[in-house]
Amino acid sequence: MDTLTRPTLLYAVLEKRQWLRFEVFQRQLGNAGSRAADHYGNPRLATVSVTKLTFKRWLAGEQEPRGDAATVLEFWLGHTVKELLGPAPMRKVVLARVPHDASLAAVHSFDVRFDSSHLSVNGPMPGAGGVWHLDGLRILDGTSVAVQMYEAEPQGDIVVIGPEDREHLRYFTQARRRALIIAALGARGADDLYVIDAAHARRHLLMPVDRLPIPAAYRLDKLVYALLWAALNVDDSLLADDQALHVEQRSLETHLTQPRSAAARAAYPDLTDVGAAWIGSHVCASYLRRHLDTTDAAPWLWSRVQYGGQAAGWLLFPERHQVLQLMQERSADAEDAPGCVFCIPESAVKSSEPYERLLLLLTMALMESYGLTTRLYPAQVNTAEFVLAPQQRAVVADWLSPDAVWHVNSTTSKSEINSLAHALDQARSHSITSASTPHERLHQAANYLECDWGWLVERCRELSAYGISGLLQLRSHLIQPSGIERALSFLGESHSAR
Could you give the CA distance from residue 405 to residue 283 in angstroms, rounded to a whole number? 9
User: Which residues does 415 contact at the CB level (< 8 Å), separation at least 6?
Assistant: none
Share of the chain above pLDDT 70, in %: 95
Question: Buried (b) or exposed (e) across 66-83, using 16+ Cβ within 10 A?
Answer: eebbbbbbbbbbbbebeb
User: Which residues does 370 contact at the CB level (< 8 Å), separation at least 6?
Assistant: 321, 324, 325, 327, 328
**pTM of the entire predicted model:** 0.82
Q: Which of 354, 317, 177, 147 is nearest to 234 (CA)?
A: 317
The predicted-structure confidence for 222-242, as pLDDT tens digits, reads as follows 999 999 999 999 999 999 999
User: Which residues does 254 contact at the CB level (< 8 Å), separation at least 6?
Assistant: none
Could you give the CA distance from residue 266 to residue 59 in angstroms, rounded to a whole number? 58
Phi and psi for 243 in degrees, rounded to 5? -65, -45
Could you give the CA distance from residue 403 to residue 45 in angstroms, rounded to a whole number? 52
Phi and psi for 185 in degrees, rounded to 5? -90, 0
Question: Does the pLDDT at position 17 exceed 50?
Answer: yes
The residue type at 433: T
The predicted-structure confidence for 169-180, as pLDDT tens digits, reads as follows 888 888 888 999
Question: Does the pLDDT at position 4 exceed 70?
Answer: no
Average pLDDT, the chain: 89
Q: Is 146 helix (H, G, I), strand (E, B) or coil?
A: strand
- Can you tell me the mean pLDDT for 172-194? 87
Phi and psi for 2 in degrees, rounded to 5? -65, 145
Could you give the CA distance from residue 277 to residue 347 in angstroms, rounded to a whole number? 24
Could you give the CA distance from residue 385 to residue 341 in angstroms, rounded to a whole number? 10
Going from the C-alpha of 404 to that of each of 152, 269, 323, 326, the distances in angstroms are 48, 12, 20, 24
Contact 394, 294 (CB under 8 A): no
pLDDT of residue 91: 60
Phi and psi for 342 in degrees, rounded to 5? -105, 130
Helices (H) and strands (E) in the chain, counts: 20, 15
Q: Region of 142 please: left (phi>0), alpha (psi -120 to 50) or beta.
A: left
Strand residue runs (E) in 169-216: 179-184, 193-197, 212-215
pLDDT band at 127 (very low <50, low <70, confident <90, very high): very low
pLDDT band at 497 (very low <50, low <70, confident <90, very high): very low
pLDDT of residue 481: 95
Q: Which of 182, 167, 82 is nearest to 130 (CA)?
A: 182
- Can you tell me the mean pLDDT for 84-111? 79
Q: What angle do helix axes 22-40 and 52-60 make, rounded to 10 degrees?
A: 90
User: Which 8-state DSSP code applies to residue 336?
Assistant: S
pLDDT of residue 3: 39
Q: Which of 109-118, 188-197, 472-481 has the highest mean pLDDT?
A: 472-481
- Listed in sequence order, the DSSP H helices in 399-475 are 414-429, 438-448, 453-466
Q: Is 179 helix (H, G, I), strand (E, B) or coil?
A: strand
The predicted-structure confidence for 421-436, as pLDDT tens digits, reads as follows 999 999 999 999 999 9
H/E element, 275: helix 273-291
For the chain, how big is the Rg over CA atoms in Å? Answer: 27
Q: Is 318 helix (H, G, I), strand (E, B) or coil?
A: helix
